[in-house]
Amino acid sequence: MAERLRLFVSAGPDLEAEREIIGQAVARLPVSLGWTIKRTPKRGEPLAPALEAVRACDVYVLLLGTDIRAPVGLELLTAQRARKTILAFLKEETIRTPAARIFIRDAQVSWTPFSNGQQLETLIQKALAQRILERAESYAISPVEWETLSALVEQSSPKETAEQEPIEAGGAGGGGVIIAPGRDLPPGGVLVGESTM
């Protein structure tokens, strides 16, 4: 039985807000499942741990905006060679660099376009909910979670809004671990902020 769903988010530095949205969307999924989220390393950080995280992930998420930057292409190639589930999201931009246009054409992925953060959140939640439902026995979700995730997958997409409130960074875009209460807490452990009495 899987204790945690491992996610790798691959994106260039122009998509920090979208990475934050994905982290928050995962945290809001109606399931008591732990998550490990890794991401494309920042400039100057070592590449090897990121590529190892791609090989170890359950779901590889690719985001593309205006431009493609290293090492995103290598991360995608690593995910493809490891036969990972790939979710590719393409931000609807008016201008893309020539490198981004070539990457879109040659990446050999099925791109899902999105126009704003709310739409990306809905798309990623539905895709991850579908993944969890397909492997429900592996993740040991409850019947209530099954019903809630099924309803989420069946919901129609919200209408696109012309303007979206800016996302306030809360740290979710930098990668991390989301614990599942009752599953990830070690015996005798206490969640931060909770009283032991």
Nearest of 157, 29, 9, 145 to residue 88 by alpha carbon: 9
Q: C-alpha distances in angstroms, 173 versus 28, 91, 109, 164?
A: 14, 17, 23, 18
Q: What percent of the chain has pLDDT over 70?
A: 77
Residue 160 pLDDT > 90? no
Burial 2-15 (b: 16+ CB within 10 A, else e): eebbbbbbbbbeeb
Query: Tell me, what's the pLDDT at 161?
Result: 39
Mean pLDDT of the region 119-138: 93
Vertex 24 angle, CA 127 and 173, to 5°: 105
Say if residues 107 and 76 touch (Cβ distance below 8 Å).
yes
pTM over 0.75? The answer is yes
Q: 172 vs 9, 62, 87, 143, 194, CA distance in Å?
A: 11, 16, 19, 28, 21
Structure confidence by residue, pLDDT tens digits, 129-138:
999 999 888 8
Which has more pLDDT, 2 or 170? 2
Q: Report the C-alpha gap between 159 and 181 in whole angstroms.
A: 33
Task: Evaluate whether 66 touches 93 at the Cβ level (below 8 Å).
Answer: yes
pLDDT of amino acid 189: 54
- Residue 157: the pLDDT is 54
SS3 68: coil
Domains, the chain, ordered by start: 4-178 (3.40.50.10140)
In 3D space, the residue among 29, 32, 33, 26 whose CA is nearest the CA of residue 8 turns out to be 26
Residues 45-76: tens digit of each pLDDT = 999 999 999 999 999 999 999 999 999 999 99
pLDDT mean across residues, the chain: 84
**For residue 79, pLDDT beyond 70:** yes
The pLDDT-based confidence of 22 (bands split at 50, 70, 90) is: very high
- Determine if residue 34 is left, alpha or beta; phi over 0 gives left, psi from -120 to 50 gives alpha, anything else beta: beta
